[in-house]
Structure 1
Amino acid sequence: MSGPISVQLYTVRQALADDRDGTLRRVAEAGYRAVEPYDPLNDPKGFRAVADDLGLSVSGTHAGAVLQREPAEVFEAVATLGTDKVIVPAGIAPEEFTTRDGIARAADLLNDLAVQAARHGMRIGYHNHWWELEPEVDGRHAIEVLADLLAPEVFLEIDTYWAAVGGADVPALLGRLADRVIALHVKDGPVVKGEPHTAVGAGAMPVPEILAAAPDARRVVELDECATDVFAALAESHTYLTSLEGH
């Protein structure tokens, strides 16, 4: 595993909106030593100061704004947060992943952003949902075709749960994508669209097999929706993943 277990802060988005500093403190108290923000333009200096005080590093950041704003503005904010990993979490039309031409356009977009990011000492990554897995092009999941067309410096952050929802054998997929994957969104639940997630280890995902298939990838916990107390679920997830790393 590359670095401490992180948490995608979208998991606690409502709490963050109400009390950012207190929420980050609770994340740290749950055992996390790294976080993955989702809005780098929202007071990056203030966020960095609080994170530093709590001993929280920034493992990377989702930055959908890079598709909507001047990229240089986004890269400057990301640098303030203290990471060089800029992850596109969505924003490319799902229909683009249904044809080879559409996938090629998606790859061109990400490759162009990667060139711009490199000027700022940064790397571009892409995070999937189910719509990059459900379509098959030439007998392969669309995201595999995308990976073939990406420049070497563009990385993937595979959301393991949405990959499973999209129909993938996730450990096998990770094996095929290999070194392209430098981070995993680790989440658990019933593997059904629209159903809330659970603490990692409490659902239907084959978490140990998934982690074994990408041993060097950063683990980033995310619960899009949670039917139980989200902070308790985050703490349970951290405890479970830490126990697996110990074996």
Structure 2
Amino acid sequence: MALPTASVQLYSLADAFFADMGGSLDKLAAIGLTRVEAFAFVDRAPELRAALDASGLLAPTGHAPLLSDELWTPKGVVPSPAPEKVFEAAAVAGIRTVIDPFVAPERWLTREGADDIAARLNAVADVAAGFGLRVGYHNHAQEFVASFDGVSAYEHVVAQLDERVALELDLFWALTGGQDVPALAARLGDRLLAVHVKDGVVPTENPWAEGGSVGDLDQRPAGTGDVPLTDALRANDAIELAVIEYDQAPGDVFDDIAASLAFLRAEGLVA
């Protein structure tokens, strides 16, 4: 079987990236990465593409809101651009799969809300196809709060998705949502394009449940926390990208990324 390729979600180094895009990408290339996952690329696609080319990196995936008028971020709510604008920018930056990174928790609590999410993903997949692109969805833990007929809202949605819609499973957040992560990764089958390689001490309460709050997270380099990363990555041969991410890096973010990459290589989990 072909092993996944290592990547890194650029949100992990957001402050450094915004301060010095080219220098940050050069540091990632020096660590040994060849792929990155873009974020906040819509208004800077030509600049990002030039910096990627200069660093010898590719961004096959990128995060952008596709299903919400507004997007929650740790620094506040921001308006979402139209999908057509997102896809135009993605094509310029060289992104092939645009992944929606967050749908508000309350929309996952009812069957009607979950059905609407699935319908919107399928509809936006049609729009993306016109640009020669694919869409995907990235989870946190709110997708696992509610269940319908014994099936989590997340898998209820997955069962309705067009085969063109890819999935990116955030392993840390799925475990936070109470999932058997290797088993879930296996059940997602061929549509599991990527996983987020993220480790740390998993919160005892789901912070995305009603009344919860995402505060400080005890996230750590891969292989040093609670997440069964090795078993999850080996559970599904379809995974193409192992995307390192920190919501909150414990130390110097470049050192932390290098440590996670070293773990993936030592375990034989990436090409």
TM value normalised by structure 1: 0.94
- Secondary structure of 1:226's match? coil
Q: Quick check: 157-166 or 26-35, which moved more? A: 26-35
How far did 1:93 drift? 2.6
CA contact (8 A) 1:98 1:137 kept: no
Within-5 A mapping of 1:23-102 = 23-64=24-65, 67=68, 68-90=80-102, 92-102=103-113
Q: 1:126 to 1:246 in 2, by over 3 A?
A: closer
Summarize the Cα distance change of 1:203–1:115 in structure 2 as closer, same or farther, 3 Å threshold.
Answer: same
Shift of 1:4: 2.4
Q: 2:133 aligns with which of 119, 122, 125?
A: 122
- Please report how far the alpha carbon of residue 65 of structure 1 lies from its aligned counterpart in structure 2 after TM superposition: 6.0
Aligned residue type for 1:216: A
Q: Which residue of 1 aligns with 2:211?
A: none
Q: Cα distance 1:246–1:188, how it changes in 2: closer, same or farther (>3 A)?
A: closer
| 1:196, distance to aligned residue in structure 2 (A) | 2.8
**Between Structure 1 and Structure 2, how many residues are aligned?**
246
1:146 aligns with 2:153: no
Q: 80, 103, 109: which one pairs with 2:120? A: 109
Q: Which residue of 2 aligns with 1:236?
A: 259
Q: Which runs of 5+ in 2 are unaligned?
A: 69-79, 208-215
Match of 2:268 in 1: 245
Return the letter of the residue paired with 2:164: E
Q: Is the 2:59–2:93 Cα contact (8 Å) retained in structure 1?
A: yes
Alpha-carbon separation, structure 2, partners of 1:52 and 1:66: 30
Note the alpha carbon deviations across 1:111-166, whole angstroms, 9 max, x for none: 11111001111111000000002222211221110001111111111111100001
Q: Output the CA distance in 2 between the equivalents of 1:109 and 1:216.
A: 24
* Distance apart, 1:3 and its partner CA: 5.3
Q: Which amino acid letter does the alignment assign opposite residue 84 of structure 1?
A: R
Contact 1:60/1:84 (<8 A) preserved: yes
**Gaps spanning 5+ residues in structure 1: where?**
none
SS of residue in 1 equivalent to 2:135 = strand
Distance 1:183 1:57 in 2: 15
TM-score w.r.t. the length of structure 2 is 0.86
Q: Distance in 2 between matches of 1:29 and 1:200?
A: 19
Per-residue CA deviations over 1:55-88 (Å, capped at 9, x if unaligned) read 1111200012674222211111100111220100
Which of the pair is proportionally richer in strand?
2
Q: Are residues 1:167 and 2:190 paired?
A: no
Relative to structure 1, the CA distance from residue 22 to residue 65 in structure 2 (aligned partners, 3 Å threshold; closer, same or farther) is farther
Q: Distance in 1 between matches of 2:237 and 2:161?
A: 22
Matched letter for residue 224 of structure 1: D
Paired position in structure 1 for 2:218? 196
Aligned residue number for residue 205 of structure 1: 227
Q: Match of 2:14?
A: 13
Within 1, Cα distance between the matches of 2:184 and 2:257? Answer: 26
User: In 1, are the aligned partners of 2:191 and 2:238 still within 8 Å (CA)?
Assistant: no
Q: Which amino acid aligns with 1:206?
A: P
Q: Deviations over 1:189-216 (max 9, x none)?
A: 0012542311111111111101111233
Q: Larger % of helix: which? A: 1
Deviation at 1:2, TM superposition (A): 6.0
